[in-house]
Amino acid sequence: DQQVKQNSPSLSVQEGRISILNCDYTNSMFDYFLWYKKYPAEGPTFLISISSIKDKNEDGRFTVFLNKSAKHLSLHIVPSQPGDSAVYFCAASGFHGGATNKLIFGTGTLLAVQP
């Protein structure tokens, strides 16, 4: 059973416009969420995160919004650039008392930013 879902396998956006990537989760015990970006033939790299005590976190062009009641988070990229073209994974975690923090990943969304 997929606990973290990214229902859009792909998204195409014009350069300069906003990209919105969505993620839904089912486990109410998740309280920390991350977005990773992955280029082909490279490992994922951390992009931005949000704790469940917040509903928004911003870092430059990237903003993550969390709606706990809907169990939904989204990543906004404004303005989108061709170099943002990659696969984006959302991931969720629950606190395990300071021990290993397992991440549950979504299936990924391939973002293509058209020049």
Partner 1 sequence: DVKVTQSSRYLVKRTGEKVFLECVQDMDHENMFWYRQDPGLGLRLIYFSYDVKMKEKGDIPEGYSVSREKKERFSLILESASTNQTSMYLCASSPTGTDIYNEQFFGPGTRLTVL
| Site of interaction with partner 1 (CB under 8 A) | 4, 6, 9, 32, 34, 36, 41-46, 49, 51, 89, 91, 93, 95, 98-108
Region class of 75: left (phi > 0), else alpha (psi between -120 and 50), else beta: beta
CB of 16 to partner 1, least distance (A): 29
CB of 44 to partner 1, least distance (A): 5
| Residue 79 beta carbon to partner 1: minimum distance, rounded to whole angstroms | 25
Q: How many CB atoms lie within 10 A of CB 88?
A: 23
Q: Which is nearer to partner 1, 96 or 115 (CB)?
A: 96
Q: Which is nearer to partner 1, 27 or 101 (CB)?
A: 101
Around Cβ 33, how many Cβ atoms within 10 Å? Answer: 23
Burial (CB < 10 A; 0-12, 13-18, 19+), residue 59, is exposed
In angstroms, what is the minimal distance from the CB of 52 to partner 1? 11
Which is nearer to partner 1, 18 or 29 (by Cβ)? Answer: 29
Count of CB atoms situated within 10 Å of the CB of 16: 11
